[in-house]
Amino acid sequence: MAEVTLTIDGQRVTVPEGITVLEAARRAGIFIPTLCQDDRLSPWGGCRLCVVEIKGMRGLPASCVTAVAEGMVVETASPAVIEARKEILSLLLANHPQDCLTCSKSGDCRLQDYAYLYGVRGDEYQGERHNYPLEEDNPFFIRDMNKCILCGKCVRACAEVQGRSAIDFAYRGFNTRVTPPLDVTLREAGDCVFCGNCVQVCPVGALTEKQRLWQGREWEFKKVRSICSYCGVGCNITLYVKDGRVVKVTGYENPEVNNGWLCVKGRFGFDYIHSSERLTRPLIRTGERGSGQFREASWEEALDLVAEKLREIKEKHGPESLGVLCSAKCTNEENYLLQKLARGVLGTNNVDHCARL
Ligand code: FES
């Protein structure tokens, strides 16, 4: 692959042709703030926070949508660049609720981080502010469009990753807003599958998981890397744990598997972990089917009973009357053993797997 050499903040950098100035800076260990950029989504260039100064170019180009060129001379933190970033942050904060004290995103908010980094207090401009009602009518997350900074990451994630295009920009100028068609709620519009990938990419507090509300501050959570147990894909996840309880799940950015993206079950369906109805011991039915009457048993007793019943059925109706349903919640090895049991012991090829459901 052809390479180009450029200078970034006085440092000579040789990178592949075609990558952006932002990427080249990152490879050189140079920080440039971003709000709307995400390597996994198409380039947007909307927030302008990543502006840099490039010798010979007019204005301050956005580094996330400007390709490197041979001999380019880039300044990522010149006085003009810093001034522009401060101005952008001041304008964003001019119409942003100043409720970091109670905002769930506090501690994990890019806007908050950058305001602190550049010393922008948010009181530079006084003017009209939005007062949109919260959208809370779905079971999974809250949309607070007063906090939306119009970075468009949710719009692109929905269209490019989930393939739903359930939301887009509507209206113009100051009234521009991300919304489903006809300005109804996500639930009313019906296109959203509530994967929550929009929630994960949101850099501010505009989208918040309901389950994590008032469960703790972001810095109090212990992050535990794990694997989703719902299906055979094996999506990598991060569990957010406080006081021994999982309060939030996000996708872990492992490009080999799910690259951070999740489905509705993997992201929001973790309440079973702490459910009081969760089975922790085998139960043997004592009453009629449907009576709901069970008694606790040991694994030995339960497995003996199952073996006895299977033998009975096989003798009475033949092995073809038996079938085995494996589970994606088991390991590959466990599923392999189960099909061996089906074929080798029960004598049936009726084997299926819940990951196909
Ligand atoms: Fe480059 Fe938003 S990060 S324009």
Quick check: 36 and 46 in contact, CB under 8 A? yes
Instruction: Assess if residue 112 is contained within a domain.
Output: no
Instruction: Assess if residue 306 is contained within a domain.
Output: yes
The model's pTM is: 0.88
- Regarding whether 323 and 310 lie in a shared domain, the answer is no
For residue 197, give the nearest of 140, 145, 240, 154 by alpha carbon.
154
Nearest atom in ligand 1 to 37's CA: 3
Q: What CATH number is associated with residue 195?
A: 3.30.70.20
Nearest atom in ligand 1 to 45's CA: 4
Q: Is 229 exposed, middle or buried (0-12, 13-18, 19+ CB in 10 A)?
A: middle
pLDDT digits (tens, 9 = 90+) for 166-199: 999 999 999 999 999 999 999 999 999 999 999 9
- Regarding whether 330 and 312 lie in a shared domain, the answer is no
- Regarding whether 244 and 181 lie in a shared domain, the answer is yes
- The torsion region of residue 243 among left (phi > 0), alpha (psi -120 to 50) and beta comes to left
Centre of ligand 1 to C-alpha 311, Å, is 66
- Regarding whether 262 and 127 lie in a shared domain, the answer is yes
Segment 75-92 mean pLDDT = 98
- Please say if the pLDDT value at position 304 is more than 90: yes
- Regarding whether 166 and 124 lie in a shared domain, the answer is yes
Residue 231: CB atoms within 10 Å: 18
**Percent over 70 (pLDDT), the chain:** 99
- Regarding whether 204 and 301 lie in a shared domain, the answer is no
Beta strands in 164-276 (DSSP E): 168-170, 177-179, 207-209, 222-227, 236-242, 245-251
Instruction: Assess if residue 104 is contained within a domain.
Output: no
Nearest CA to ligand 1 atom 3: 34
Which residues line the pocket of ligand 1, CB cutoff 6 A?
34-37, 45-50, 62, 64
- Regarding whether 139 and 69 lie in a shared domain, the answer is no
pLDDT digits (tens, 9 = 90+) for 194-221: 999 999 999 999 999 999 999 999 999 9
Instruction: Assess if residue 108 is contained within a domain.
Output: no
- Regarding whether 258 and 193 lie in a shared domain, the answer is yes
- Regarding whether 224 and 148 lie in a shared domain, the answer is yes
- Regarding whether 235 and 128 lie in a shared domain, the answer is yes
Higher pLDDT, residue 127 or 65: 65
Centre of ligand 1 to C-alpha 275, Å, is 42
Report in angstroms the alpha-carbon separations of 7 from 13, 17, 33, 148. Answer: 6, 14, 19, 35
Instruction: Assess if residue 82 is contained within a domain.
Output: no
- Please say if the pLDDT value at position 239 is more than 70: yes
pLDDT in the model for residue 356: 59
Segment 330-343 mean pLDDT = 91
Instruction: Assess if residue 304 is contained within a domain.
Output: yes
The partner residues of 157 in beta bridges, in order of sequence, read: none
- Regarding whether 333 and 243 lie in a shared domain, the answer is no
Mutate to test the pocket of ligand 1, among 48, 85, 113 (most ligand atoms within 8 A of CB): 48
Q: What CATH number is associated with residue 36?
A: 3.10.20.740
Q: Which of 21, 46, 77 is the last residue before a domain boundary? A: 77
Segment 103-118 mean pLDDT = 97
Beta strands in the chain (DSSP E): 3-8, 11-16, 53-54, 73-75, 141-143, 168-170, 177-179, 207-209, 222-227, 236-242, 245-251, 283-285, 294-296, 324-326, 351-353
Give me the domain span that covers residue 292. 279-317
The domain total for the chain is 4
- Regarding whether 300 and 253 lie in a shared domain, the answer is no
Instruction: Assess if residue 84 is contained within a domain.
Output: no
Instruction: Assess if residue 299 is contained within a domain.
Output: yes
